Amino acid sequence: MTSLILIFVDLLIAMVIPSTIVLGLTYINRNTKKILVNNYGFNSQVYFGFLGIIVHETSHMLAALLFGHQIVEFKPLVLPKNVARNGGALGYVNQRWNTNSTYQNIGNLFIGTAPIWGCTFVLYLLTKLTMPNLYQFILKLEKAMATMNLDSIRSVISNMNLFNNIDGISLLISVFGLILMTNIVIGGFDLSSNDLKNALGAFIAFYIFFIVILSALVFFGFGVQVNNFLVKLMATFVSIMGLSIFLSLLINLILRFFNFLSRFRD
């Protein structure tokens, strides 16, 4: 009984942590867009975040296809001159699905939150291509966090070596990559109310499904293994999402700083 309770607690943590990160990224980047709109106009979201908008909508579309949804209309980016006639939408995916299909309904959890995973994937890809030292550091940190060994984590951080073999060309490439990543963060991580609404029902169903599976595993004596798996899974997940969280917070704070300066000058 104790093992079963422990698994339920771990599973709750395993579901709450991703949900908190998803909602946190949505809130931070929604606030970033609000600052941009208030200071530079509505269309500034497109100018400063067009790559993120494209990745956002493409992620929705690919996840919808993966779960068997029918794509009715797909617009990865609405140009500034057409935003008003599209009800303020910067991009959209209209889809249909079979409400009697468990697979397609569960898919709404991943379709609704797909931009978080899609944007994170693209950020990692850009990091690998334009900032290889940072990429290697992140990989080592993820492995260390998965072991839950504090000494290993401290060792990785103290030997990060981010500026090894950096020349002028490498620096320019890194700056270019940072610009692209900034654009993706600004435009990509803000989940709409409909995204979150569609994901909620699937989240509840997904949680119940996992309770049944994990209860069976505990019953057959795999409680300790399941517990260790969930702990390592969450440590890895948090470390992977750390890049997205860090960049989102950094960009938001920079915009807040410039906003403060502009008010101070006024």
The letter for the amino acid at 150 is L
Is 55's pLDDT higher than 90? Answer: yes
Among 200, 160, 187, which Cα is nearest to 251's? 187
Q: How far is CA 54 from CA 120, 147, 247, in A?
A: 14, 36, 18
Mean pLDDT, the chain, as a whole number?
Answer: 82
Predicted confidence at residue 3, as pLDDT, reads 63
Measured over all CA atoms, what is the biggest interatomic distance in the chain, rounded to whole angstroms? 68
Is 25's pLDDT higher than 80? Answer: yes
Give tens-digit pLDDT for 108-124: 878 888 888 898 889 88
Among 80, 113, 103, 102, which Cα is nearest to 196's? 113
Is 265's pLDDT higher than 70? Answer: no
pTM: 0.80
Cα 54 to chain centroid, rounded: 15
Give tens-digit pLDDT for 181-211: 989 988 888 888 877 877 777 677 777 777 7
Predicted confidence at residue 72, as pLDDT, reads 92
Identify whether the C-beta of residue 26 lies closer than 8 Å to the C-beta of residue 248. Answer: no
CA distance 24 to 6: 26
Predicted confidence at residue 161, as pLDDT, reads 77
